[in-house]
Amino acid sequence: MTATLINGKTSAAALIERIAADTALLRQKTGVQPGLAVVIVGDDPASQVYVSNKSRTAERCGFHSVQHTLAAETTEEQLLLLVAQLNADPKVHGILVQLPLPTQIAAAAVIRAIDPAKDVDGFHDINAGRIASGAAHEAFVPCTPAGAMILIREVLGDGLAGKHAVVVGRSNIVGKPMASLLLAADCTVTIAHSRTVDLPAVCRMADILVAAVGRPELIRGDWIKPGAVVIDVGINRVPAGPGDPKTRLVGDVATAEAMERAAAITPVPGGVGPMTIALLMLNTLTSACRHAGVSV
Ligand code: NDP
């Protein structure tokens, strides 16, 4: 069997096109223009690439887009002040503070300071609680798991009920919300992590396998159940070849091996990554629609 590659780039482009059209309609009907504020602290090169991608995509969607770039030595108090200003700004419907933050700032305190109604990353305790209690429709769902769910549905349609889903990774931003969404879709869900005993055997049970670990190609081909749908969230930079100073991106799954057994798999890059940005735009549009009192 050779797996179908799930093209996240195409799906994300289609979604962004729809968001741009809906944004134009919202502006025409209500005068409300969705606004996204992205805050970055420090000069981490990977974060800078993510943030400029997000701002560029926001502009393509027709959003009011603002970017705040703060110095690496910014204090928690200064950042909290900016968050308070953005909470109060009627032109801003979504606030994203790019993680990781420098060590002098407690990320949890900053996330809790964001108005849950503008928390388009879906990391605030209130949004996390809504998702965990089965009220995802009232929440902002974190963008990566929300994007992964769209890709899974593109393959399986309505056929998720009763499928065994294994999520490897239990972070608050990917693993846990991913498991909640799969549970809400009536999958039987197993969450695996660094203390899981016999991870290969656990993965082999998965009709749907989601890898969100951050370990290059940890999941091997013979860990995949024949016919499984594999969603590789991992983004890992590794040397392009032995001793090569150039680098390339790989996921948490050994893709070529996995393709021999899976029915469908997301590539890295070009799978979940583009969907994450598209879902950030969708969450921002949703926030603006809620603000304007119209449905998305
Ligand atoms: P975290 O480091 O927060 O979490 C990693 C999880 O993997 C933890 O739960 C950890 O277990 C588990 N883990 C680590 N090593 C092993 C192992 N050997 N066996 C089993 N489980 C293990 O990472 P994130 O959730 O933030 O991100 C995961 C990956 O996804 C990263 O590569 C990240 O770059 C990528 N990512 C991609 C995005 C995208 O848009 N495509 C967006 C966000 C993240 P424990 O809890 O026990 O420590």
Which amino acids bring their CB within 6 angstroms of ligand 1? Answer: 144, 168-171, 173-175, 192-196, 199, 212-215, 218, 233-236, 272-273, 276
Q: Residues forming the annotated binding site?
A: 169-171, 235
Q: Closest by alpha carbon to 175, among 164, 167, 184?
A: 167
Q: How many residues does the chain have?
A: 296
Burial of 162 (0-12, 13-18, 19+ CB in 10 A): exposed
pLDDT of residue 257: 98
Separation between Cα atoms, residue 163 and residue 94, nearest integer Å: 34
Substitution site in 235, 276, 280 for ligand 1 pocket (most atoms within 8 Å of beta carbon): 235
Q: Count CA within 13 A, CB hemisphere, residue 236.
A: 18
Partners of residue 191 on adjacent β-strands: 167
Q: Count CA within 13 A, CB hemisphere, residue 102.
A: 16
pLDDT of residue 1: 74
pLDDT of residue 295: 83
What's the pTM value of the predicted model, to 2 decimals? Answer: 0.97
Separation between Cα atoms, residue 266 and residue 148, nearest integer Å: 9
17 C-alpha to center of ligand 1: Å?
Answer: 30
Mean pLDDT, the chain cut into blocks of 10 residues (296 residues total): 95 98 97 98 92 96 97 98 98 97 98 98 98 95 98 97 98 97 98 98 99 98 98 97 94 98 98 98 98 89
- The verdict on ipTM greater than 0.90 is yes
pLDDT of residue 200: 99
